[in-house]
Amino acid sequence: MPAAILAIDQGTTSSRALIFDRDLNVLGVGQQEFEQIFPKPGWVEHNPDAIWASVRYAVSTAIEKAQIRPTDIVGVGITNQRETIVVWDRQTGKPLHNAIVWQCRRTADDCARLRAAGHEPAFTERTGLVLDPYFSGTKLAWLLDHVSGLRAKAEAGQAKAGTIDAFLVDRLSGGTAHVTDASNASRTLLFNIHNMAWDEELARILNVPLGLLPRAASSSEVYGRTKGLDFLPDGIPISGMAGDQQAALFGQACFEVGEAKCTYGTGAFLLMNTGSRAVASKNKLLTTVAWQVNGRTSYALEGSAFIAGAAVQWLRDGLGLISKSSDVEALAAKVPSSDGVVVVPAFAGLGAPHWNPQARAAITGITRGTTAAHIARACLEGVALQNYEILHAMEADSGAKLSRLKVDGGASANALLMQYQADVLGCTIVRPRMLETTVLGAAFLAGLAVKLWNGVEDIRKTWKVDREFAPQMPAADREAHIARWRAAVAKA
């Protein structure tokens, strides 16, 4: 059998594993969902052991379907939900609390206090982030302050903490490797993206012991090797890591300055490669590490809409308008327009460029003539209009007008949404043949480290276009849609 790469995509609602060969043939796929835990309104947690069980199942299933020998796997790549934080026992590996998920808003008041104390400029200057409960740092501080005995354990060196990538590497390596990559580290509010190191002063402000944190490594290197697992043999290099959105940027072959992508997952995430320059945003976007490969750091501007695919799940589970998520396109297509209905999908607050954790979802423009189809269409349009605001800010920061935006993620298969996205952005939407770009980025990073691919140009040759969507909406109509959106956002 040819050499294969195992790529693990540990997401917000499920864990997936894909096995690729060098030519990007998908040899096997495995996936398993896990429980979402909501202790209080606005709080979201995951059981780390349930995440691990789902990863084990996904990998085992992918190997079985691929009909390969596990020893044919030459490298393991990991991509992950980024800001979710886990704390576990240094000796036993046992989680010391549920993971606090990126969507969790429990530290909104803590962030407000830090802003009131004048700390936000220091955090933004050094980390490229804003003080928002989205990020890991205040979540970790909350765990240390609220879980009985945890701070004492942390200060005694008896605990480890990290984002999900670090937790998985620790488990995959039998506890021998406590490591994260620069892209994930850059989402914690604790990592200085300019000197690429944990920041002692920021850690002191948040009262987080630096000894808890993993080693911050590059995005493509051998971090450790598999050890003591019942579903993988010992000795396979764990050789690539990136947060899910940075992995998607890499998987979309956005290697040049100015290239950009949007991933439609639970949320929607736009990233633009800014190369070796960490562009400071004047429009409330994030400056983040895209990846670090072969000693070179690439940066990106990022705008996040917290809710995208999750809005369609709400139509399915909350309102019962559709029986499965893929039905939304057919329902929305029953009407030629939303007829003035606007859905602002701020179920978890508003992200860039608003950063308003207190905002709530809103539906405006409803009349007696409004049907389920109008609401479904307005819901899809709301996802796209959030992205309009982000891209508008991105163009202002970068000084460049984007002509093409690469797209991926589950909702990019929705042609109605993609056409509307092209219309409101006024740029061409490019959808690749391989929509699994997040997990593909993890595979590429792992494969580079073990020399399965010989560099980014080798990788670029594998990237192929499926379909392009050119803008078709008249400018006056576009402006009317945007004006209705802005009026609705003001009420959210």
Instruction: State yes or no: pLDDT of 77 exceeds 90.
Output: yes
* pLDDT confidence tier of residue 1, bands split at 50, 70 and 90: low
Q: Which two tokens stand for residue 436?
A: 């699994």
The mean pLDDT value for 4-19 works out to 95
Position 373 confidence tier, pLDDT thresholds 50, 70, 90: very high
User: Does residue 310 carry a pLDDT above 90?
Assistant: no
Q: What percent of the chain has pLDDT over 90?
A: 76
Average the pLDDT over 270-285 and give the result: 90
Cα gap 101→46, rounded to integer Å: 7
Predicted confidence (pLDDT) at residue 96 exceeds the cutoff of 90: yes
Q: Return the pLDDT at 395.
A: 87
**How far apart (Å, rounded) are the C-alpha atoms in residues 35 and 364?**
32
Q: Which has the higher per-residue pLDDT, 453 or 352? A: 453
What are the structure tokens assigned to 403, written together? 């002509």
Please state, as a whole number, how many other Cβ atoms lie within 10 Å of the Cβ of residue 275: 17
- Residues 90-94 have a mean pLDDT of 94
Higher-pLDDT residue of 184 and 69 is 184
Q: Mean of the pLDDT values across residues 225-234?
A: 95
DSSP-derived pairing of the beta strands 342-344 and 404-408:
unpaired
Give all domains of the chain, ordered by start, each with its CATH number.
4-245 (3.30.420.40)
Mean pLDDT (the chain) is: 93
Residue 223 tokens, joined? 């971090």
Question: pLDDT tens for residues 110-129?
Answer: 999 999 999 999 999 999 99
* pLDDT tens per residue, range 247-274: 999 999 999 888 899 988 888 889 999 9
Amino acid letter at 151? R
Output the pTM of the full model: 0.88
- The C-alpha atoms of residue 23 and residue 328 are separated, in whole angstroms, by 34
